[in-house]
Amino acid sequence: ILNVEQSPQSLHVQEGDSTNFTCSFPSSNFYALHWYRWETAKSPEALFVMTLNGDEKKKGRISATLNTKEGYSYLYIKGSQPEDSATYLCAFTRDQETSGSRLTFGEGTQLTVNP
Amino acid sequence: DGGITQSPKYLFRKEGQNVTLSCEQNLNHDAMYWYRQDPGQGLRLIYYSQIVNDFQKGDIAEGYSVSREKKESFPLTVTSAQKNPTAFYLCASSFTGFFYDTQYFGPGTRLTVL
């Protein structure tokens, strides 16, 4: 089973602060990296899927970057709002042809934005 | 409204009993997945199905069984052979069975075995 690590495990910020967290994954046979947002009592919701080294994706105040050669992705939130409070999950997959290829999730970063 | 439904939201069972968790989708997705969440761990794949009448084991399939007789439905049975079945179970689906494809999740079922 592949190891996907997310840091920090939890984060508390004030409303208006910008923040970022990291997802680390094995760099060999990289295929895709997913980011999901999971609010309490709701279903995980897809934010981004990234496949190319150097990819940058943006959705409102949230953006993500990808470095497949060194095996990491950053998620940035600009001007955090209380509604951004959630657990942010990343998930990694190798090439579908690779034996045992599947989506492997990290434990998540739990973000709390205080008003 | 298109989406994924899981029922029930909470489920209690006595030790030694089999229990089936329901997952239905009306998104016309080919692929469906079952994940398990435990405290301090990432979501772990139990079983997945890329097409009707076909499914594959994930990382923690022991003690579980599935069927995929209809495109819309992918029920998960937790058998008495599962040593630690108390957990939160999430079902997901995607348009294709490729793992670069976005997965859409249901609301989950929390199973407690007494």
Higher-confidence position of B80 and A86: A86
| A30-72 tens-digit pLDDT | 889 999 999 999 999 999 999 999 999 999 999 999 999 999 9
The CB density around residue A9, as the number of other CB atoms within 10 Å, is 12
Compute the nearest-CA separation of B70 from chain A (Å).
23
A window 28-47, beta carbon within 8 A of B: 31-32, 34, 36, 42-46
If you compute the radius of gyration of chain B from its CA atoms, what whole number of angstroms results? 13
Least Cα distance to B92 among A33, A44, A48, A109 occurs for A44
Identify the pLDDT of residue B81.
87
Q: SS3 of A83, please?
A: helix
* A96 closest CB neighbour out of B4, B33, B98: B98
Identify the pLDDT of residue A101.
64
* A93 closest CB neighbour out of B41, B99, B104: B99
Q: Stretch A13-37: mean pLDDT, rounded? A: 94
Identify the pLDDT of residue A39.
96
Give the nearest chain A residue to B6 (CA atoms).
A43
Q: Stretch A64-93: mean pLDDT, rounded? A: 96
Chain B residues touching A107 at Cβ < 8 A: 40-42
| B56-114 tens-digit pLDDT | 999 999 999 999 999 999 999 999 888 899 999 999 999 988 888 899 999 999 999 98
Inter-chain residue contact A107 with B100, CB threshold 8 Å: no
Q: Stretch A78-86: mean pLDDT, rounded? A: 97
